[in-house]
Amino acid sequence: MEQPAERTTQERSSSVKVRRGLTLLFMNVVVPGSAQLAAGNKHLGRIALRVWGAVIAIVLIVGILALVRRDWILSVFANGIALTILAVLGIALALGWVVLLIDAWRLGRPREMTRRAGIGMTVLTAVLCIGLVAISAGAANYLRTAGSFIDTVFGGGGDTQAKQGRYNILLIGGDAGADRVGLRADSITVASVDAATGRTVLFGLPRNLEHVPFPTSSPLHELYPDGYYCADHECLLNAIYMLGEENKKLYPGVKYPGVKATTEAVEETLDLKINYFAMIDMQGFIQLIDAVGGITISTDLKVPIGGGTSRISGYIGPGKNLRLDGYHALWFARSREGSSDYERMARQKCVMNAMLHQLDPMTVFTKFSQIAEAGKSVIATDVPSTEIGTLLDLADKGRKLPIKTVSFTPPLIATGNPDFDLISETVSKAIAQSESLDAQATAPAQTKSSQSGSSSAKATTKATSTATATSTGNTDDLNAICQVA
């Protein structure tokens, strides 16, 4: 009769020990060092708690700064050294945490539990330790990838000073491939971004622009004092990249003479000083779009996939909220069949517009490893890592605002004999109009109210301009080509 009572006492004792062991273990899961402070090496516990408190404090400070000055935080951590240090510290903290968990398991005295309970405690501790190591290893790999990507791609060299309150960025789509000799700039666009608000104006230059001038400071000015022109009409804007590469001796010490020559020509054409450039080839573009999960557009166009020397294998659109992967986004931007170069430029701007508005910081963060892999296909950029925070912050602001676009195409500009004074004047007016929108946004409410009376007239004007854009081929109104959510 006494044997069952003895077993009950043992069971109760084991149950108490299991609860004690689990409590100590999860105390260290929630607050590392707390188990040692309660039942073990108090000195070790105090050290762990201080380290844990310091980590929490740093995270809170970074979080607060990220809310008020995110560009500062991004600038601090957007370099390979900082990310490598973070990766090493993360692994060190994780290993220290593992040691504390194992010590908490020891303090729980699993050998004094029943065999089943002791095995359960050991397995649980092992799972927690393995999970912690796996998470820290994944985070360290993420940071290592990010650091490598930043150090490789963002080597610097651009002009970090805003030009009259704006950052002007030259975007070049490279048309290189195994079946082509050299590289031609398939698309040339300048994004002029307000340094305070992020409001953006896109200036599209046609690749077949002739008589493109070089500034007197350019070594190519001596070769082409009257602009880049030849009798066979092959001296086009998109060929200036190869012109620079073929004349490397004129650009001693310049890493990318083709980009330098193109930048000089674009600056003189638009009368804008370029801060940075970024150039990506076709395969890199496909990988980049795929890395972020694609883009979504709505269009009334039916854009062929293929054409020219190859058969048409399908079409993109028409349709609403079309989800395009990298392959289809590239064809939407580049397809020539049945359309002009000027409509093609507008489609390229549609894709840029979609990327700006749909690639939010959270998307970039969660897809960073894939983006970093795609980034290896970026041919060049001279954006320094120290400016990544500033540009990302402006991009986040700009994606909340409509983009103004200007294409220097017929009937505005005759590409064979362009009016460069008109181009410069158009650039100045477009920037002034864009900046006036920011001024209106910050104007007193009564000023806005007084302007509302003319809203119907503005709507009529906008409708008229849209109709004119459609009928004349002017592609400045992107809504005539596509809509972006």
pLDDT digits (tens, 9 = 90+) for 112-146: 888 888 899 999 999 999 999 999 999 898 888 87
Specify whether 125 is located in the same domain as 203.
no
- Which residues constitute the domain of residue 272? 166-442+472-484
pLDDT band at 443 (very low <50, low <70, confident <90, very high): low
Rounded-to-integer distance, Cα 289 and Cα 329, Å:
8
What's 333's domain CATH number? Answer: 3.40.630.190
Specify whether 333 is located in the same domain as 405.
yes
C-alpha dist (Å) from residue 217 to 131, 220, 223, 268, 325? 60, 9, 12, 10, 43
**Domain assignment present for 457:** no
Q: Which stretch of DSSP H or E encloses residue 406?
A: strand 404-407
Alpha helices, DSSP H only, in 78-214?
A: 80-107, 115-153
Question: Of 41-50, 229-238, 342-351, where does mean pLDDT reach its minimum?
Answer: 342-351
Q: How, if at all, do strands 166-174 and 276-281 pair?
A: parallel
Specify whether 251 is located in the same domain as 362.
yes
Specify whether 125 is located in the same domain as 173.
no
Instruction: Name the nearest CA neighbour of 390 among 74, 153, 81.
Output: 74
Read off the DSSP letter of residue 313.
E
**Domain assignment present for 38:** yes
- Number of residues written out for the chain: 485
Rounded-to-integer distance, Cα 207 and Cα 262, Å:
11
Specify whether 175 is located in the same domain as 149.
no
For the cut 60, the answer to whether the pLDDT of residue 181 exceeds it is no
Rounded-to-integer distance, Cα 443 and Cα 456, Å:
21
Specify whether 74 is located in the same domain as 195.
no
User: SS3 for 330-388, per residue?
Assistant: HHHHHCCCCCCHHHHHHHHHHHHHHHHHHCCHHHHHHCHHHHHHHHCCEEEECCEHHHH
- Tokens matching residue 234: 């092959």
pLDDT at 386: 83
**Domain assignment present for 447:** no
For 331, residues 6+ apart whose C-beta sits below 8 A from its C-beta are 303, 305, 316
Number of domains in the chain: 2
Specify whether 336 is located in the same domain as 359.
yes
For 36, residues 6+ apart whose C-beta sits below 8 A from its C-beta are 28, 42, 44, 45, 48, 100, 103, 104, 107
Rounded-to-integer distance, Cα 229 and Cα 360, Å:
42
For 482, residues 6+ apart whose C-beta sits below 8 A from its C-beta are 297, 298, 299, 301, 347, 350, 353, 354
Specify whether 148 is located in the same domain as 170.
no
- Tokens matching residue 301: 């166009």
Specify whether 296 is located in the same domain as 380.
yes
For the cut 70, the answer to whether the pLDDT of residue 18 exceeds it is yes
Q: Is the omega angle on the peptide bond into residue 411 within 30 degrees of 0, that is, cis?
A: yes
pLDDT band at 267 (very low <50, low <70, confident <90, very high): very high
B/e letters for 461-474, b = 16+ CB within 10 Å, e = fewer, are eeeeeeeebeeeeb
Tens of pLDDT, residue by residue over 60-76, are: 998 888 788 777 777 77
Specify whether 260 is located in the same domain as 317.
yes
Predicted model pTM: 0.72
Pick the more confident residue, 476 or 91. 91
